[in-house]
Chains A and B, each alone.
Chain A
Amino acid sequence: MDLELLIGIFPQVLIDGITLGFMYALIALGYTMVYGVLEFINFAHSEIFIVGAFVGVELLLGMKAWGWLEALPWVIVLVLILVAGMAVSGVLAVIVERTAYRPLRDAPRLIPLISAIGVSFFLQDAIRLFESLWRNAFNLVYPTMEVLNTRFEISSTIDVSLKSLVVVAAALLMLWGLYSLVNRTKVGKAIRAVAEDQSAASLMGINVNRIISLTFLIGGAMGGGAGVLFGVQYSLINPYTGFIPGLKAFTAAVLGGIGNIPGAMLGGLVLGLLEAFAASYLSLLTGGAFGAEYKDILAFSILILILIFRPKGLLGEVVRERA
C-alpha cells in the first residue's frame, strides 16, 4: 500500500467526485420534486435525463455540420445545447405525466409505478428507434470541443480541466435557479403547498393539476440539463446509458431525504464522492482483489442501508400529510 500514492490522488478523486456528484444532484432533483408532490417515483426520469443528452448531441452534430461549432464561442454553444436539452426533456416529462400517470392517479400505488417502469422501457427503445432511422447509429459521440480540454494547474500534481469546471459551474447555476424558483417565487410557493397538502392547496385556489405538470416540467428540465452535461463530460451515450445513473440518482434523493430539495443536492454530492472514492481506492486498498467494478453496487448497498437505518434520509423527508 503506497501511502504517498493514496494521498497523492486524493485531490483528483475529490474533483472527480464533485463533478459526478453535481450531475447526480441534478438528476435527483427530478425524482425528489415529483415525489414531493405526488409521492410517486417517476421511473421514467432516467430516460428523460438521457433524452436531454441525445438532444445535446444531435444539436452539436448539427452545429458541426453547419459550421457553427467553430464560428460561435464555446459559451454560447454550451448555453444553446443546455437550453435545448432542458426544454425538450421538460416537455417530454409533461407529456409522459399527462398520458401515462394522470389517468392512474387514483389507482392503488402499484399501478402507476408499473406504468412508470413501462414508460421507461418504452422510451429507451423509442430513442433507439428514432436514432436508428435518423442516423443509423445509436451509440453517439459528443463532438469534442477542444477548448474544454485545457487544463489548469493548481499545483504540481493536481490539475483541473476546464470541462469539469464548466460542468460544476453549470450545475451550480441550475441548482441556484431552482432554489430561487422554489423558495422565492409565487409559483414555487404553490409547488410547496401542493407538496404539503394537495386538498388544502386546491382549496386555496391553486390549480393542482397545473402545478403538478409544472413540477414535472421543472424536474424534467433539470434532468435534461444533467443529460447534456453528462454527454459533454463523458462523450459516449446510448439509449440505455440513463438507467444506472437514474437509479443512483434516486438513491441520492433518498439519501438526502426524499421530497427535500436541498436534501437531493446533498445526497447527490455525497453519493458522487463516495462512488469516486470507492472506484479509485478500492483496488489500491485491497491489492486488486476488489476493484472499480463494485462501485455500482456501492450505491445500492447504501440505498439498502439508509432505508433500514435512517429511512428519513440525511436531511429528513418532506412528504405530504397523510389525509
Chain B
Amino acid sequence: MRKLRTRHVLSALAASVLLVGVTLPVAHPVAAQSKGTIKIASQSPLSGGQAALGEGIKLGAQLAVDKMKGGLEKMGYKVEFVPFDDQAKPDVGVANAKNIIADKDIMAVIGHLNSGVAIPSSEVYKEVGVVMISPANTNPVVTDRGYPNVNRVCGRDDVQGVVGSEFAHGTMKVKSAYIVHDKTQYGQSIAEFFKADAEKKGVKILGFEGTEEKSNFDPILTPIKAKNPDVIYFGGIYDQGAPFFKQAREKGIKSKFMGPDGMDSSDLTKIAGKAVVGMNYTSAAGPASALPKAKTFVEEFKKKFGKNPEPYAAEAYDATVIAIKAIEETAKKGKVSREDVATAVRKAKLSGITGDIAFNSIGDRQKAQYFVLTVASDDPAKWGDNKIVKQLTIAPPEPKK
C-alpha cells in the first residue's frame, strides 16, 4: 500500500477544490439578487417515508406557478419555483429555512407537511417576515402564536380530533378505543384531542401509547389484541400507520381502524393492502373528488405530471395562487417587499379549488372543511374513489387573546 506523502495529499486537496469549483457551475446563479426575479419556495418531505404527500405539495405548487405566473411576467419579472426537501425533520427544515431567508428573491414559502417541522422553521421565516402558507399543517400551535406571516388553508387538529371522535362515538357507536400515536408534534397532539373528546363522550380509553417504531409492532399489538378495543386510532402518518394496521390484521386483531389526515394518501393502501379497506379517516382538507372546481385541476395535474393528485396538492395549488396574487398586488404598488406580501396574503380572498378562502386574524382559514372518509379499495390507484361519509364546514376556534 503506497503511503501518501503530505504534499501529495495537499495537492490532491487543492486539485479537488478546484475541480469542484470548476464543475460547480456557472449555471448556478452567480448573479446577485436581481430585481427581476421572483421566487416561490416550497418545503415538504421529498424523500423518505412521507415523500408521496410531500411530492403532492410540491407538484401542486409547481402547477400553480406554471399556470399563474403570466401576470408577473407581464410586469417584467422572471418567476421561478424552488422546491426544498425538509425530509420531515425539524433541523433540516430549519436549515433550509435559513437558506430560504438568505435568498432575497424568495417571496413566499408553501409548506410544510409536518407541523413539527413547520413550527421551528416558521420562527426562522418570522425573522425576515417572509410569508408561509401551509397546505397541510393542522397543529393549532402553528397559528396560535399569532405570527403575521404564518397562514394555513387547511383545518386545525383541535377541530379535526373532535370530528373524528364525534364520528367514532356517534356514527360508529364504539364503546372503547385504544389510541396509538407517533410521538411527533402532529401525531401526539391530534391523538390527545381525539382522546379528550372521546373521553368526554363516554368512550372508554383502553390505552394511549406513543411509539417511534417503524417495523416491528408486535409487542405493542399484543396488549391491544388482549384488550380488544372497538376501535384503534393511530395518530400519525401513513408510513407508520400502514405497517401498524397491516400487522394488526395479520395478528388477528378484529377492531376497527381509524386515523387522522396523516392517513390520507394512496400509499396507505399500497403498503397495507386489504388491512385498511373499510377504515375511516378524517381530513382537514378535501379530497380532489369532493372539490367543486376539482375536475379541471385533476385533469391538468394528470396531464402535466402523469399521475393523479395526491392529497394536499389542491391545497398547495390554492396556497400558491394566493401567494402569487398577493405578490402581484404588491408589485403593482412598485417595490415587492416580503412584509407587504405577507400583509397582502393575510387580507387575501380567493375562490379556489378547495372553496372560498379567507384568513382570520391569526391566519386560520375562516371556513375550513372537514371530512370523514372511508377507504374504498385496496388498489392505490383508486384512492380518489374513497367515499365521503361526512362533510362539515367549521370555523376555527376564536383566537385566544
Which A residues form the contact surface with B (CB < 8 A)? 5, 8-9, 12-13, 16, 19-20, 103, 137, 139, 141, 144, 149, 151, 157, 159, 161, 163, 230, 233-238, 241, 275-276, 278-280, 283-284, 288, 291-293, 295
Pairs A–B under 8 Å by Cβ, sample size 5: A9-B225, A280-B223, A284-B223, A292-B220, A293-B210
The contact of A163 among B213, B227, B250, B271, by CB within 8 Å, is B250
The answer to whether B306 has its CB under 8 Å from any CB of chain A is no
Contact across chains for B223 and A20 when beta carbons are under 8 A apart? no
A234 and B215 contact, Cβ closer than 8 Å, known pairs A5-B223, A5-B227, A284-B223: yes
CB–CB B219/A13 < 8 A: yes
State which of A8, A9, A139 has its C-beta within 8 Å of the C-beta of B48. Answer: A139
Binds A, one of B239-247, B326-334, B349-357: B239-247
For the complex, give the distance between the alpha carbons of A284 and B213 in Å: 18
Q: Give bound CA distance, A20 to B222, whole Å.
A: 14
Residues of A contacting B225 in the complex (Cβ-Cβ under 8 angstroms): 9, 12
B215 touches A237 (CB 8 A): yes
Interface SS of chain B: helix, strand, loop or mixed?
A: helix
State whether the Cβ of B270 lies closer than 8 Å to any Cβ in chain A.
Answer: yes
Contact B246 A291 (CB under 8 A): no
Other-chain contact of A9, B209, B222, B242 (Cβ < 8 Å): B222
What string of 1s and 0s marks CB contacts (under 8 Å) between B222-248 and chain A? Answer: 110111000000000001001100110
Nearest B residue to A231, CB-CB? B215
Closest-by-CB residue of B relative to A237 is B215
Q: How far is the CB of B88 from chain A (nearest CB, A)?
A: 12
User: In angstroms, how far is the closest chain B Cβ from the Cβ of A23?
Assistant: 10
Cβ of B98 within 8 Å of any chain A Cβ, yes or no, is no
A234 touches B252 (CB 8 A): no
Q: In whole Å, how far is A165's beta carbon from the nearest beta carbon of chain B? A: 13
Asked whether, in the complex, the Cβ of B243 is within 8 Å of the Cβ of A234, the reply is yes
In the bound assembly, the distance between CA atoms of A13 and B242 in angstroms comes to 22
Cα distance A279–B220 when bound, in Å? Answer: 7
B211 touches A (CB below 8 Å): yes
In the assembled complex, the CB of A216 is this many whole angstroms from the nearest CB of chain B, namely: 21
Q: B220 — nearest CB in chain A belongs to which residue?
A: A292
Mark B residues whose CB is within 8 Å of A. Answer: 1, 48-49, 51, 183, 207-216, 218-220, 222-223, 225-227, 239, 242-243, 246-247, 249-252, 270-271, 273
For A149, what are the chain B residues with a Cβ–Cβ distance below 8 Å? 249-250
Distance between Cα atoms of A90 and B246 in the complex (Å): 31
Q: How far is the CA of A157 from the CA of B226 in the complex (A)?
A: 8
Contact at A292–B219, with CB atoms within 8 Å? yes
Quick one: which of A236, A238, A275, A288 has the most chain B CB within 10 A?
A: A236
Chain A interface SS verdict (over half): helix
Q: Which residues of A contact B223 (CB under 8 A)?
A: 5, 9, 280, 283-284
B residues near A13, Cβ cutoff 8 Å: 219, 222
A293, B183: Cβ atoms closer than 8 Å: yes
Contact A144 B208 (CB under 8 A): no
- B-side contacts of A275, CB under 8 Å: 219
- Least Cβ–Cβ distance between B290 and chain A, in angstroms: 28
Q: Which residue of A lies closest to B250 (CB)?
A: A149
Whether B226 pairs with A12 at a CB distance below 8 angstroms is: yes
Known: A236-B271, A293-B183. A5 touches B226 (CB 8 A): yes
A230 to B243, CA, bound (A): 14
Contacts of B226 in A (CB 8 A): 5, 8-9, 12, 157
In the complex, what residues of B have CB within 8 A of residue A238's CB? 49, 214
Residue from A12, A236, A278 within 8 A of B214 (CB atoms): A236
Contact indicator B222/A12 (Cβ below 8 Å) = yes
B residues within 8 A CB of A280?
219-220, 222-223
Task: Decide if B211 touches A292 in the complex (CB within 8 Å).
Answer: yes
Query: Which listed residue, B49, B209, B213, B219, touches A16 by the CB 8 Å rule?
Result: B219
**Which listed residue (B48, B219, B249, B271) contacts A141, Cβ 8 A?**
B271
Residues of A within 8 Å of B252, CB to CB, are 151, 159, 161
CB distance from B313 to the nearest CB of A (A): 18
Q: Say yes or no: B250 contacts A295, CB within 8 Å.
A: no
Asked if A16 and B250 sit within 8 Å, CB to CB, the answer is no
Give Cα distance in the complex from A288 to B227, angstroms. 15
- Contacts of B212 on A, CB cut-off 8 Å? 293
B218 to chain A, nearest CB (A): 4
Q: What's the minimum C-beta distance from B269 to chain A, rounded to whole angstroms?
A: 11
B215 A144 Cβ-Cβ under 8 A: no
Q: Check A161 against B251 for contact (C-beta < 8 Å).
A: yes
Q: Contact: A236 with B243, CB < 8 Å? A: yes
Do residues A292 and B213 form an inter-chain contact, with CB atoms below 8 A?
Answer: yes
Q: Which residues of A contact B209 (CB under 8 A)?
A: 283, 288, 291-292
- Say whether, besides A9-B222, A291-B209, A292-B213, A139 and B227 are in contact (CB < 8 Å): no
Q: What residues of A have a CB within 8 angstroms of the CB of B250 in the complex?
A: 149, 161, 163
B219 touching A295, Cβ below 8 Å: yes
B47 to chain A, nearest CB (A): 8
Q: Name the residue on B nearest A276 (C-beta).
A: B219
Q: Assess the B216–A293 pair: CB atoms within 8 A.
A: no
Residue numbers in A under 8 Å from B243 (CB-CB)? 141, 234-236
Nearest chain-B residue to A137 (Cβ)?
B51
Give min CB distance, B334 to chain A, whole Å. Answer: 45
Check B49–A139 contact: CB distance below 8 A: yes
Q: Which residues of A lie under 8 Å from residue B220 when comparing CB positions?
A: 279-280, 292
Min C-beta distance of B232 to chain A, whole Å:
15
Once the chains bind, are B215 and A241 in contact (CB under 8 Å)?
Answer: yes
Contacts of B216 in A (CB 8 A): 20, 233-234
Could you tell me the distance between the alpha carbons of A292 and B242 in the complex, rounded to whole angstroms? 19
Closest A residue, CB atoms, query B227:
A5
Give chain A residues whose Cβ lies under 8 Å from the Cβ of B208: 288
Q: Which of A19, A235, A293 contacts B211 (CB 8 A)?
A: A293
